[in-house]
Homo-oligomer: A and B are copies of this chain.
């Protein structure tokens, strides 16, 4: 039984539902950010992130900074690129446009390779683009939260290493880390940025980044200093290294409570094989996708290989909009999200299935949501039919 007060199950693509212990860690009594107990907690947290990302290379560098997933973009744009550099942004939805905006803010030239809505750029298109210009880095959104499109990180990374070996491979894993497989070392990824509040299962407020030894080398050989202060790895890298080595260190005050919550969820996540965690998300996702198909509905991501395992973006029946359905789901105790992709925002809803809602056998969030979705859509359809009479 959860010790949380009764509340609707939050099944949007983040923030997600949180485990009781994780939420209790948020109430940890006040500690000095440079005192031995917290230094230990923060250090262990950074070390557990290495496990989560499946990196054993000691040159890999984790960062945990108060902020949000978006701050990860600033970190990439301000530390791994320099003003005037060209970068290639693979577009699978809203978040690529924003990442490109972020690069432009820092004087970095972003070229977007766009796929039709619900699809992802194909490998041959990416290869062609990489051969046309020298790119400092390529970014790919692992799961675009606006479309539910999954990108193929392993194949992409291999392609980049083959075709343009100096180009860094940067993954926006905000909606994937913790629910989609990421083998940081084996796949040759240079940087993954993510956030605390999605499949990692910690409340929002932390920007989480893993950089490879190659990325750190590239950062260290910059011609100009980092172009952000709060997001500067020059400022943060010694701090992260000191915390992980058990030494107090100060640049800006971290959030002890959020770091405690992250420590708790990472302890839980790394206590079972990661493969089991990913399998649980795949299984729940298949159940959701089957239910959606059984209702006669389609997904933005049409092709099965394009479909994320932690969320589903569902087209509504023709003429139905999110405000027709979402309140009916809320009445049934589940919260879905509306559309986010500007061109089609009124035509679809998003169902997040990540974290404890999927992995905790005592929770029936997903089954209840599937029933609610069926009833809600049926009821909305009946209302539409009645008003059309």
Determine whether A323 belongs to the interface, using a CB cutoff of 8 Å to chain B: no
Given contacts A15-B33, A30-B17, A337-B32, contact A105 B229 (CB under 8 A): yes
Quick one: given A26-B257, A27-B23, A68-B254, are A105 and B228 in contact (CB under 8 Å)? yes
Q: Are B105 and A232 in contact (CB under 8 A)?
A: yes
Residues of B within 8 Å of A335, CB to CB, are: 32, 35
Interface size class of A (residues with CB under 8 A): 35 or more
Cβ of A230 under 8 Å from chain B: yes
A340 and B14 CA atoms in complex are apart in Å by 39
Contacts of A49 in B (CB 8 A): none
> Contact: B205 with A258, CB < 8 Å?
yes
A305 at interface by CB-CB < 8 Å: no
Q: How far is the CA of A69 from the CA of B212 in the complex (A)?
A: 29
16 contacts between A and B (CB under 8 A): A4-B29, A7-B29, A10-B31, A33-B204, A66-B67, A69-B252, A70-B253, A77-B229, A101-B229, A102-B229, A105-B232, A106-B229, A195-B253, A197-B255, A228-B228, A230-B230
> Is the beta-carbon distance between B32 and A255 smaller than 8 angstroms?
no
Confirm or deny: A156 has a beta carbon within 8 angstroms of a beta carbon on chain B: no
Given the complex, which residues of B lie within 8 Å of A33, measured CB to CB? 15, 204
Task: Scan residues 66-86 of chain A and give those whose CB is less than 8 A from a CB of chain B.
Answer: 66-71, 73-74, 77
CB–CB A68/B252 < 8 A: yes
* Of the residues B203, B228, B251, contact of A255 by C-beta under 8 Å: B203
A243 contact set on B, CB distance < 8 A: none
- Could you tell me if A256 and B203 are in contact, using CB atoms closer than 8 angstroms? yes
Q: How far is the CB of A196 from chain B (nearest CB, A)?
A: 9
Q: Are A73 and B105 in contact (CB under 8 A)?
A: no
Query: Is there an interface contact between B257 and A203, defined as CB atoms closer than 8 Å?
Result: yes
**When chains A and B are docked, how far (Å) is the Cα of A67 from the Cα of B255?**
9
| Interface membership of A225, Cβ < 8 A | yes
Q: Is the interface of A mostly helix, strand, loop or mixed?
A: loop
Cross-chain contact of A253 among B74, B197, B253 (Cβ < 8 A): B197
A residues apposed to B, CB below 8 Å? 4-5, 7, 10, 12, 14-18, 23-24, 26-35, 66-71, 73-74, 77, 101-102, 105-106, 195, 197, 203-206, 225-232, 250-258, 335, 337, 340
What is the chain B residue whose CB lies nearest that of A106? B229
Least CB distance, A378 to chain B, in whole angstroms: 24
Collect the chain B residues with CB atoms within 8 Å of residue A73's CB: 229-230
Residues of B within 8 A of A340 (CB): 250
* Complex-state Cα separation, A32 to B338, whole angstroms: 11
Question: Do the beta carbons of B102 and A256 come within 8 Å of each other?
Answer: no
Chain B residue numbers with a CB within 8 Å of A255 are 68, 197, 203-205, 258
- Chain B minimum-CB-distance residue to A34: B337
User: Which 4 A-B pairs give the minimum distances between C-beta atoms?
Assistant: A205-B255, A70-B252, A26-B26, A102-B229
